[in-house]
Structure 1
């Protein structure tokens, strides 16, 4: 991931995020595409994520998935989860469903750019080329980031800017020809 993506954010240490469902820099599998947005075979299943090496003072985590290549002028937020307890270092496959039942107690899913409080899979327009999906786990210095459950992912990001101790980043891609 280009350092330019985070250039205007506070510089913080990095730590490691991995997934059993997607390798860093490789394409999402069909389950991580969006059936809701009409991708044939897409299932809107959030990828499994594990992380390690966060700063010792971490009190909670947040996870976001963002497509900067969406043809909106502002990208597209696919998923945002906040207030993940510090003792949790993994989200299982499908944690981003519309019930949130696989999320740890206390965690909240914020509405994405489709205004759904869940994971919305990849759905780049046909022929638009390869899109990048930036998957970030933020280590935070507070247990509760203090955003309402109906806040936007951008508002979450604004509130995290002064509380981020570390950032774990991986990317996925998607393209529909």
Structure 2
């Protein structure tokens, strides 16, 4: 049985993310560039993937969802650094993040707060498509992702300003 893993050539698990990953907006001034990601060892029967980025440390009472990519073809096992909407539309669908935008929204923790954890999770799904439009609220989308998850692999980056 293979081990399902998620890695990045840009950072190791529990290492700091870079300023280029920081959100460009709110009060952030980064480049909002998503890191390169790759996964391997998905379980047999994986029919698609979903990718989420979550900050459990955001001072909201429920964390902050920075990215939801779903209906990713099972042949895809990597995402290039800085992949934009056009690149990602070719491999899957994206939902609104908690910034209210579609796609990757980089880290932007409050200035002076301790480092926040940014948890990238790839989900191996038992269905080829969730059958939901990108306009579906992200909580509903995440519910459907979790309902169809065979296995997950995570990679956590840290960031503070």
TM-score by length of 2: 0.93
Tell me, in whole angstroms, the C-alpha distance in 1 between the residues paired with 2:82 and 2:146.
27
CA-atom RMSD, angstroms?
A: 1.5
Residues 74-129 of structure 1, C-alpha deviations (whole Å, 9 max, x = no match) = 1110001000000110011112x3xx111262511110001100211111001121
Residue matched to 1:117: 102
Structure 2 matches for 1:147-158, cutoff 5 A?
147-158=132-143
Structure 2 matches for 1:16-27, cutoff 5 A?
16-27=5-16
Q: Secondary structure at the match of 1:27?
A: coil
Gaps of at least 5 residues in structure 1 are: 1-12
Partner residue of 1:171 out of 149, 156, 159: 156
16-25 vs 80-89, which moves further? 16-25
Q: Secondary structure at the match of 1:171?
A: strand
1:60 aligns with 2:48: yes
Mapped contact 1:61–1:84 kept (Cα < 8 A): yes
Mapped contact 1:112–1:152 kept (Cα < 8 A): no
Q: CA offset at residue 65 of structure 1?
A: 0.3
Partner residue of 2:128 out of 127, 143, 147: 143
Structure 2 matches for 1:17-56, cutoff 5 A?
17-40=6-29, 42-56=30-44
Residues 25-74 of structure 1, C-alpha deviations (whole Å, 9 max, x = no match) = 1111111111222323x011111110000011001000000001011111
Residue matched to 2:78: 90
Mapped contact 1:34–1:121 kept (Cα < 8 A): yes
Q: Secondary structure at the match of 1:61?
A: strand
Q: Secondary structure at the match of 2:147?
A: coil
Gaps of at least 5 residues in structure 2 are: none
